[in-house]
Amino acid sequence: MSGWSANFRHALSERGVDLVRAEQLVSEALEQAADHGLAPQRMFGPATRYADLVARALRIPAATPLPVTDAPPAALRLTNVSKRYGRRHVLRNVSLEVGEGELVAVVGANGCGKSTLLQICAGTTKPTSGIVERVAHVGYVPQTGGTADYLTPAEHFALFAAARADSRGRGVATGARLATALGWRPPAGQPAGQLSGGTRQKLNVVLGELSRPKLLLLDEPYQGFDHGAYVDLWTQIDRWRDTGSAVLIVTHMLGELDRVDRVVELDAPEE
């Protein structure tokens, strides 16, 4: 096995992908690279970065499923969640709930733990203590990363569709349709690494919503957007909420807070 394949398999397993599935993913990647006549490193970039993307597409380790109650259904519930990095407390006893058809904003000063909170909601970071309950079907738009420089938008759509056992054709068509709602027409054949920062972020948003998740986690999703795309995104967010999805958004855009149902303000970071 080549160095890239071994590193990819190892990185997948570090990200919680089971060995059989990891083996399958390595074979698929090698096949795809061979089809294009490229070395896997050239096609997918560094193995660890590609493993990040694949793990994101495969979605997130299971959290405790939410109990069924008579109350309006919650899509996400955090109870007394805390996070420490070494001795540094980043989050202390955060509790919040986002119901289906609800839009909740997370605000707070730089470094107060907003991205960490979203990672915990997504399941990509473990809390030090506390309980996370959420629906199984989650779309996560991280603040940075989340795309592979060497794959085209269509290849991203196909990869994320495959992770949901959906066909390549349907994934690519859905991705193109969702991109239109952000005023973007994905270019054929251009890898993500050659897209502008704002356009790459549009790709990130489309990947988050590609499989119509019940819960959308958006970490400052509009970075680099021009004004038109920013307006389009908020229209999309309203639409997700109105069609019953739960949306949790990290934002510094305090002017938009009258659009949201609830605001969760995190405490200032420890000195």
At its nearest, how many Å lie between ligand ATP and the CB of residue 82? 13
271 contributes a contact to ligand ATP by CB under 6 A = no
224 contributes a contact to ligand ATP by CB under 6 A = no
114 contributes a contact to ligand ATP by CB under 6 A = yes
112 contributes a contact to ligand ATP by CB under 6 A = yes
85 contributes a contact to ligand ATP by CB under 6 A = yes
Contact 238, 80 (CB under 8 A): no
Which H or E run includes 130?
Answer: strand 129-134
Strand order in the sheet with 88-99: 88-99, 74-85, 129-134
208 contributes a contact to ligand ATP by CB under 6 A = no
At its nearest, how many Å lie between ligand ATP and the CB of residue 222? 14
At its nearest, how many Å lie between ligand ATP and the CB of residue 248? 13
At its nearest, how many Å lie between ligand ATP and the CB of residue 144? 9
9 contributes a contact to ligand ATP by CB under 6 A = no
Residue 243 CA to residue 188 CA, distance in Å, equals: 31
Length reported for the chain: 271
At its nearest, how many Å lie between ligand ATP and the CB of residue 250? 7
Kindly give, in sequence order, each residue whose CB lies less than 8 Å from that of residue 46, ignoring residues fewer than 6 positions away: none
At its nearest, how many Å lie between ligand ATP and the CB of residue 247? 17
DSSP designation for 135: -
CA 95 to chain centre: 21
124 contributes a contact to ligand ATP by CB under 6 A = no
Which of these segments, 32-40, 62-70, 113-121, 196-204, binds ligand ATP (CB under 6 A)? Answer: 113-121
Q: Is 15 exposed, middle or buried (0-12, 13-18, 19+ CB in 10 A)?
A: middle
Within 13 Å of residue 106, how many CA atoms lie on the same side as its CB? Answer: 29
Of the candidate residues 116, 152, 204, 245, the single one contacting ligand ATP (CB under 6 A): 116
Count of positions on this chain that bind ligand ATP (CB under 6 A): 11
Compose the 29-68 pattern: x for residues touching ligand ATP by CB under 6 A, - for all others: ----------------------------------------
Kindly give, in sequence order, each residue whose CB lies less than 8 Å from that of residue 25, ignoring residues fewer than 6 positions away: 8, 12, 17, 54
Of the candidate residues 40, 113, 123, 186, the single one contacting ligand ATP (CB under 6 A): 113
Kindly give, in sequence order, each residue whose CB lies less than 8 Å from that of residue 49, ignoring residues fewer than 6 positions away: 145, 148, 149
90 contributes a contact to ligand ATP by CB under 6 A = yes
* Residues contributing to the site for ligand ATP (CB under 6 A): 85, 90, 108, 110-116, 269
